[in-house]
Amino acid sequence: MKKFINVSLVLITNLCLLLSACNAPKSEESTKEISKVVDQSTVDRIDSTLKSFVDAGQLAGVSALVYEKGEEVYFNTFGYSDREAGTPMSRNTIVLIYSMTKPLTGTALMTLYEDGAFQLDDPVSKYLPEFSDMQVYSGVDSSGNIMVEPLDRPITVRDLTRHTTGIINRTDVPGLGEKYGKLDIYNREGNLTEMAEKLSSIPLWFQPGTQWEYGTSVDMQALIVERISGKPFHEYLKENVLDPLGMKETRYFVPEMDRDRLAANYRLGNDTLNRIPDEQALSFNTKQWPLKLGGWGLTSTLDDYMQFAQMLVNEGQHGETKILEPETVKLMATDHLTDSVKIRSFLENKGQVGFGIDFAVRLSPPASPEENNGEVGEFFWDGAASTLFWVDPKNELTAVLFVQLFPYDQIGLHKNFRDAVYGHYPFPN
């Protein structure tokens, strides 16, 4: 009898504890686990938003894919991948991703970092001796001749990964810009070593670490991958990032049998959408050129690029495949720009962001409805033809948006897509 009473008391006590736990306020962590960003109203909002751009004649076609907590929660396409041929935009449409190549290059580089092959603060000249004896542009004299000054410090690998090298990438700097324009660094018959030789033949535009200036730094990351691994960059990328993730259609060269899926490129001007001739827009990807760049040049599909995004949101692992350690992904998604870097080119147009290793990193919520929407801790990048992807660790959400539109997003597509996904503005109180 005594034993029965003791067992009963234990059962009653456990039941009370269970009921208490069920009725207790949920912790922030448990709320996070059951929260959902994308529901049916979100799907309807995204559909309406994307369709409106096509209906307005601002896009020929658009596609989007969103995953949340490892599950597909949105996919749709609108319009045409080839308007003139009447080919609908589809899930397996191949697009030119331009600078969305850069995060893939950074990932390849960081696999070598994990092997201990280099440190971020190593001088670049340790791996690229072409940059051993650099000088820095300080203006032009009264005769228009370039004036130079010594380096304050060497270019580091970290400078390459965060765009603070000082390597020029524009032609509008008096004297220096003209020299840069004559280098022909993107000669398709060339290679990354020849590009390094050309870039190092002229002064840096500014002292390393003092400005954020987008440019050819990621191509030099690719060259470091070549020098350390002893393999051509595109082969190392394929073997260590693309193939392990099953990204079979992320490539520089699109073979003849797949070109019916290759999207046309369009330019919007004076409210008219005009096709860019294929021989101009697609020529880099329809011939086997020797030049394989780290900064741009890859093509991809929605599902291919989502494999990459899912690896990142899962801290370096996708399914059974591990590409990076969690600590490395966090390092890449951490702001590496110091407060002293005041001049940041167009980066401030991206919102309250800094820059990590080949990603922009969101540091604060949008300060106004005019800014791009998103969650703090998100990291992302985009491409010249107005493509976009982001990784939102807080909500375990990843999004990929594909279009082929020039000039780069002059229609507010990215902002409206983000607003459609999140449906609110997380303004600070």
Tens of pLDDT, residues 59-75: 999 999 999 999 999 99
Q: Lowest-pLDDT range, 41-45, 108-112, 365-369, 400-404?
A: 365-369
Residue 425's pLDDT band (cuts 50, 70, 90): low
CB 427: neighbour CB atoms within 10 A? 11
pLDDT at 428 over 90: no
Tens of pLDDT, residues 251-310: 999 999 999 999 999 999 999 999 999 999 999 999 999 999 999 999 999 999 999 999
Q: Exposure of 201 by Cβ count < 10 A (0-12 exposed, 13-18 middle, 19+ buried)?
A: exposed
Higher per-residue confidence, 233 vs 36? 233
pLDDT at 103 over 90: yes
Residue 426's pLDDT band (cuts 50, 70, 90): low
Three-class secondary structure of residue 234 per DSSP? helix
Q: Measure Cα distances from 400 to 3, 44, 146, 168, 194 in Å.
A: 62, 17, 44, 30, 34
Tens of pLDDT, residues 125-173: 999 999 999 999 999 999 999 999 999 999 999 999 999 999 999 999 9
Q: Which helix (H) or strand (E) holds 64?
A: strand 61-68
Is CATH 3.40.710.10 correct for 39-110+231-422?
A: yes
What's the rounded mean pLDDT across residues 410-419?
Answer: 97
Tens of pLDDT, residues 226-241: 999 999 999 999 999 9
pLDDT at 30 over 80: no
Nearest to 310 by CA among 71, 134, 139: 71
What DSSP character marks residue 89?
A: P
CA–CA separation, 302 vs 406, rounded Å?
A: 19
User: Within 13 Å, how many C-alpha atoms sit on residue 426's CB side?
Assistant: 15
Task: State residue 424's pLDDT score.
Answer: 72
Residue 12's pLDDT band (cuts 50, 70, 90): very low
Three-class secondary structure of residue 404 per DSSP? coil
Output the average pLDDT for the chain.
92
CA 171 to chain centre: 25
Task: State residue 34's pLDDT score.
Answer: 53
Higher per-residue confidence, 225 vs 32? 225
CA–CA separation, 114 vs 58, rounded Å?
A: 44
Task: State residue 63's pLDDT score.
Answer: 98
pLDDT at 22 over 50: no
% of the chain surpassing 90 pLDDT:
89
Task: State residue 17's pLDDT score.
Answer: 37
Residue 429's pLDDT band (cuts 50, 70, 90): very low
Instruction: Provide the H-helix boundaries in 24-149.
Output: 28-34, 40-55, 102-114
In this structure, what token pair is assigned to residue 180? 């840069």
Show me where the domains of the chain are located.
39-110+231-422, 120-219
Q: Is the dihedral of CA 163, 343, 364, 120 positive or negative?
A: positive
